A and B are shown apart, each in its own frame.
Chain A
Amino acid sequence: MIRFLLSRFIQGIVVIFAVITITFLILRASPGGPFRSERTLSPEVLARKMEYYGFDKPIPVQLWRHLVHYATFQFPESQVFAGRTVDEIIISGFPISAAIALPALLLALCIGVPMGAQAALRPNTLEDRASQLAATIGICTPSMVLGPVLAILFGLKLRWFNSSGWFDGSDWVLPSITLGLIYSAYIARLTRGSLRETLAQEFIRTARAKGADNTTIIFRHALKLACLPVLNFLGPAAAGLLTGSFIVETVFQLPGLGQFFIASAINNDQELLIAISAFYAVLIVSFNLMVDILQAWLNPRIRLQA
């Protein structure tokens, strides 16, 4: 187990630095230069700015400096948000994205798993069809539609919540519901498919033959196994949610990470873009590791090997 963890840890670090390198190279190769402005800058001003942000050095030197900065936790300054280091920006945005993401994940699981299970247990009945229809609608509804609909209904019409902004203690509710409902649709479909498959397996038939009652079969044997694809999905999904959903954050005007991520791409804020990509990589690596450990715990057939 320790060998497994150590090996995955080292792999993770390699992945993270690979992400930094690739993002860096793609950004440096992108056309247009780092300081885009409709008004032409004088050559002196441009040269001084390039020097300030280190763009005047050869690419390998720049890359090496980046890698060293990240390895020593001395993070660079954003090019757009003057005087703010990228870690300062991530620290300001991450708690907000997390405050939306965690309830959204919980909601997605609380709706998705029972709905999917219900449908799997009663295949081709009205309930199954209804839940499948709801899931399909959920998957097809983009958050840029669902978000404004909820904001207009519960914000502008019923006035239960603020339609946007991050001011009240209840401002996480509508964005979390928007994200949660959409993710619950994916989870419901995954649960249904995987539970139906599990229920058809021999060990379930054996359990039935031995006289185990239906509840025990479903909860102790089948669901545990049927959760594996859901878990696989949850790892990257959680990382994605935690780094912020740009659309939901824009619709509800939340100062989370997602807004910074997209703004950095639009403004060509290369330092911030590299930093958020690296942060995303850290989350993906950590969640995938957690998923692997959980899977081994849920399914004895899986062994953790370095």
Chain B
Amino acid sequence: MIAAMRWLVRALLLIFFLGGIAWFHHVRTHRPQRVEAATRDGILLVGNGSEPGTLDPHLATGQPEHHIFHAIFEGLVAPAPENPDANGPGAAVSWTHENFTTWTFKLQPQGKWSDGTPVTSEDFLYSYRRILTAQLAADYANMLYPMLNAEAYHTGKLKDFTQVGVKAIDPLTLQITLAGPAPYLPSMLKHYSWFPVPKHAIEKHGKMTDRNTRWTRAGNLVCNGPFVLSSWRINQAVETLRNPHYWDATSVKLNGVTFIPIVSDTTEERAFLDGQLHLTQTLPLAKIPGYRENRPDFYRDEPLLSTYFYRVNTTKKPFDNPKVRRALAMAIDRESICRNILRAGQKPATGLTPPGCGVGYQTPDVMHFDPAAARQLLNEAGFPDGKNFPTFDILINTNEAHRTIAEAVQSMWKQHLKIPVRVLNQDWGVYLESQRKLEYDVCRAGWVGDYLDPSTFLALWKTGDGNNNTGWGSARYDALLSQSFLEGDPAKRFTTLQEAETHMLEESPILPIYWYVRSYLVHPSVKGLLPSLLEHRCYKAVEFKL
């Protein structure tokens, strides 16, 4: 009897336990996914890479900030809803120009800051003065250098800001005068360094040039974009809600955008599959081919205005010889790197400026894989069959993907040119320092364009430019570039820039390898999020449709 009771108790306990698990399973699996709830509430959940350092458009430098700024701030020109790379009305309703040099912007009559105060041309004046004041130490101040006297004011050569090429004609008319014709100015104005910042909010928390005050905190931040910052929990989420004072508030379809910082790409992918994100920032490299083939409903890739290349130290022998550099360039099989190693739709770079970098600009088709010609050039440079060629290093910053590419290039150079190459990796800080001090032979690099014009890539290679870091300089190149900055005819300007780029590529201080592609996942219910070379997002055009 007691034994039977004991068994009964055990059986009951077991039933109770299993029942508990079944109940728990039922309850937990029937809770709504975050994405479902957010879709119902009209909130877009965006994976956003790392935590933003600041939400001050004049002090920010990174991609995560760039994505947030497109929701909460707006420049004179904004990404157009039908094509984010095209120029749509933003804080300015329309604009005209004289010879691409004097630009007049009519501001939105209904333009307001998120606290209801009107956005006026004085706000732009204040903003440009702020970013150009050396005391603020804004990394991106040089983005404003095309403006007349902006550089002189920033570097302290000019003390009087009224001499800088920006004028408030009346509260709703702003005039920007440039140092030379720049047809690409509207595209440049979409970069956050040109965005207006609210004087009244900034000066409530400190002086104009005080760095890092509390004006960017939720509750203090006043902005002029379609959304307004509602909360900022560090390393958790930046939440924005619809801005009722936005001039085009009726077109805004979402109720808010939440940016979630997720550094690890595998964690981000899992969060997406778990229904926690509508949109990822990236995808683990190894997973891209699988998604491309099997999940066309989620997977997207789009070209970026960004180039992966190698710098060559032209101050070092034997790399001071253009023939040697050209031979190195011609012995890289870019097609094979893109097809067999990268496998995410990257395009082999035949030149430096990526396709689409300026409407009507044709990137020179110079970089080709031609091992026979490469050997011939090396022969002419005095290294027949690679004989006596000194051993040299390809410098990379520590990263598996860079290593794989470097090893591929290493084996191509060994195979086709029979020259001894090693791969050397350094920690990020040391690597940057080695590049700057020209303490390398060949080194990996990347460049992201800031606006749609070849000059965002070509200005780097002027003699002595702070970002050149190859030791290369050419009077002809400098002259062509200067000429392009004075040229008022867009077609002629492009011809000049093309000539400059061709000349530079033939000299090969850099070896372009591929043009980047961004691969990411997006929930099928998200509509209106269109591809952009500059990763510009027009959030007001985004909506949910099931």
Contacts and interface: CB of A to CB of B under 8 A. Distances in A.
B263 interface: yes
Given A83-B213, A83-B216, A162 B274 contact: yes
Contacts of B154: 42, 44
Contacts of A162: 34, 274, 276
Contacts of A49: 137
Nearest to A147: B267
Contacts of B234: 81, 84, 89, 92, 255
Contacts of A152: 270
Q: From DSSP, what is the main secondary structure of chain A's interface residues? A: loop
B271 A82 contact: no
B13 interface: no
B116 interface: no
Nearest to A35: B139
Give chain A's interface residue range (CB within 8 Å of chain B).
35 or more
Given A84-B234, A160-B25, A253-B262, A40 B429 contact: no
Given A45-B137, A163-B271, A82 B50 contact: no
Contacts of A156: 270, 273-274
Given A39-B467, A81-B51, A253 B430 contact: no
Contacts, number: 141
Contact of A151 (B59, B262, B270, B429): B270
A165 interface: yes
A98 to B, nearest CB: 15
B236 A82 contact: no
A206 interface: no
Interface string B34-64: 1000000000000000110110100101000
B212 A31 contact: no
B29 A160 contact: yes
A193 interface: no
Contacts of B235: 92-93, 255, 259-260
B274 A164 contact: yes
Interface string A19-61: 0000000000011110011111110110011001000000000
Contact of B270 (A80, A148, A159): A148
A268 interface: yes
Interface in B431-446: 432-433, 436, 445-446
A172 interface: no
A37 B61 contact: yes
A160 B28 contact: yes
B214 A40 contact: no
B53 A81 contact: yes
Interface in B184-229: 211-214, 216-217
Contacts of B134: 44-45, 48
Contacts of B474: none
A128 interface: no
B466 A167 contact: no
Given A83-B212, A255-B235, A40 B436 contact: yes
A152 B267 CA distance: 10
A186 interface: no
A304 B389 CA distance: 70
A44 B142 CA distance: 11
B432 A32 contact: yes
A158 interface: yes
A164 B139 contact: no
A130 B358 CA distance: 67
B53 A80 contact: yes
B260 interface: yes
A38 B267 contact: no
B178 to A, nearest CB: 20
Interface string A67-109: 0000000000100111110000100110000000000000000
A49 B271 CA distance: 37
B56 A82 contact: yes
A168 B445 CA distance: 41
A36 B264 CA distance: 21
A240 interface: no
B513 interface: no
A250 interface: yes
Contacts of A48: 134-137
Given A81-B234, A82-B216, A89-B234, 8 more contacts: A36-B429, A38-B446, A44-B134, A45-B141, A82-B56, A82-B211, A148-B270, A165-B260
19 contacts: A31-B430, A32-B429, A32-B430, A37-B432, A38-B445, A40-B467, A41-B139, A44-B154, A45-B137, A81-B51, A81-B234, A82-B54, A93-B235, A151-B270, A152-B270, A159-B28, A160-B25, A160-B28, A167-B34
